[in-house]
């Protein structure tokens, strides 16, 4: 039996949960009437529903699971245990559980739930119907579930199926990457203002437009990263002088970034595993 996008339940309407709801509605992937939401802080869910008339706010997670067969879990990893325990009375093998965090193993969730489980790690870029979403599928997932996940996330991103061993680094690049890049560019703006006296407003405008332009060049396949650098950096030019500083200081920085994110990832996995082990398994 094919699953269709009749009703989607979103649990957690914080930063990423609300972003997904906004993106799906902006892309006309779903209508407000196809969405039921729940948040443990009711005011957040009610504010989202006020922004999108027709969006239904459930009174609790059990009601949400009884209304929607496709559930998107957008809570913090350490909140999974409590939420799954609340959901268990209403979950069936006909549900599809989609989680958006990377630090809980799908096989661990499958041991707690009767339903198929998938992971989709979104990115803030999905708010602009851009970027990628990273997909991983549990052992109970059928082709109909895959098709549903792709139909749900394709209008707001480019879904990419990944293998578990590359989950963390893929998340670092696609999902954490905007924050890393934003920090680097913010430093560029701040030090330009400090060093030269240019206003931060002007520097921010110039850097923002530069970033948008680079994105367009890559999207239109006019350049790749290597050819772009070569084209801008003419021999014995000013750009090369600036690049020489970056070549001295940048190599190794992201290796350390990835070592630290991997360590935090492993730590979080163990904490989530401990919390979920305290949740009674589905009988």
- What domain range includes position 89? 8-167
Residue 176 placed within a domain: yes
| Same domain membership, residue 64 and residue 203 | no
Query: What tens-digit pLDDT sequence spans the chain (283 residues)?
Result: 555 567 999 999 999 999 999 999 999 999 999 999 999 999 999 999 999 999 999 999 999 999 999 999 999 988 998 999 999 899 999 999 999 999 899 999 999 899 999 999 999 999 999 999 999 999 999 999 999 999 999 999 999 999 999 999 999 999 999 999 999 999 999 999 999 999 999 999 999 999 999 999 999 999 999 999 999 998 889 999 999 999 999 999 999 999 999 999 999 999 888 888 776 655 4
Q: What is the pLDDT of residue 131?
A: 96
Q: What is the pLDDT of residue 19?
A: 97
Q: What is the pLDDT of residue 5?
A: 64
Cα 97 to chain centroid, rounded = 16
CATH number for position 109 = 3.40.50.720
Q: What is the pLDDT of residue 283?
A: 47
| Same domain membership, residue 155 and residue 44 | yes
Q: What is the pLDDT of residue 235?
A: 81
Residue 273 placed within a domain: no
CATH number for position 241 = 1.10.3730.10
Residue 272 placed within a domain: no
- pTM to 2 decimal places: 0.90
Residue 279 placed within a domain: no
| Same domain membership, residue 210 and residue 117 | no
Our count of domains for the chain comes to 2
| Same domain membership, residue 194 and residue 137 | no
């Amino acid at each position: 039996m094919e699953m269709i996008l009749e009703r989607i339940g979103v649990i957690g309407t914080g930063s990423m949960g609300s972003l997904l709801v906004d993106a799906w509605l902006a892309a006309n992937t779903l209508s407000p009437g196809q969405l039921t939401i729940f948040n443990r802080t009711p005011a957040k869910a009610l504010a989202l529903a006020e922004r999108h008339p027709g969006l239904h706010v459930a009174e609790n997670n059990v009601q949400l699971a009884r209304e929607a067969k496709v559930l998107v879990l957008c809570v913090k990893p350490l909140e999974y245990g409590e939420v799954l325990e609340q959901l268990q009375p209403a979950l069936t093998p006909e549900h599809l559980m989609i989680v958006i965090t990377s630090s809980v193993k799908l096989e661990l969730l499958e041991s707690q739930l009767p339903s198929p489980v998938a992971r989709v790690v979104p990115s803030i870029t999905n708010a602009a119907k851009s970027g990628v979403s990273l997909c991983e599928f549990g052992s109970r997932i059928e082709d109909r579930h895959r098709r549903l996940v792709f139909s749900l996330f394709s209008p707001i991103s480019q879904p990419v199926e990944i293998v578990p061993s590359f989950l963390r680094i893929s998340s670092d690049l696609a999902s954490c990457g905007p924050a890393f890049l934003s920090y680097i560019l913010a430093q560029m703006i701040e030090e330009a203002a400090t060093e030269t006296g240019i206003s931060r407003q002007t520097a921010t405008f110039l850097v923002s437009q530069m970033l948008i332009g680079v994105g367009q060049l890559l999207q239109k396949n006019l350049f790749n990263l290597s050819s772009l650098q070569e084209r801008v950096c003419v021999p014995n030019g000013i750009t090369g002088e600036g690049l020489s500083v970056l070549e001295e200081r940048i190599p190794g920085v992201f290796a350390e970034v990835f070592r630290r994110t991997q360590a935090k990832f492993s730590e979080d996995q163990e904490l989530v595993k401990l919390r979920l082990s305290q949740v009674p398994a589905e009988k």
